[in-house]
Amino acid sequence: MLNTAIELQPNEISNSITKNWTTQAIECYKLNGNCSECSIRRAHYSFACQMPKVVEILKLINGEPDMEEF
């Protein structure tokens, strides 16, 4: 299943952001991928956010985040 999830991701996703839970990944996780509430979305960046896909990969690789750490 992990290989399938990674294969389905576009090439724009860096392996470095799928290794550990980051503050931004935690925010996306907490928002359940609701981009309209995301701080990145509110900043009007000109790229398509891949964070919901990153969160799914992180859950497969590392499991659910330890919310006490964040």
Domain range annotation of the chain: 2-69
Question: Which pLDDT tens digit goes with each residue over 22-69?
Answer: 999 999 999 999 888 888 766 666 677 889 999 999 999 999 998 877
- Give CA separation, 7 vs 17, 37, 49, 52, 54, in Å: 16, 28, 18, 15, 12
**pLDDT value for 9:** 45
Going by C-alpha positions, the residue among 34, 24, 36, 8 that lies closest to residue 65 is 24
State the pTM of this model. Answer: 0.72
Helix, strand, coil share (%) of the chain residues, nearest 5: 55, 0, 45
Residue entry with tokens 């859950």: 59
Backbone angles phi, psi at 10, to 5 degrees: -65, 160
**pLDDT value for 62:** 93
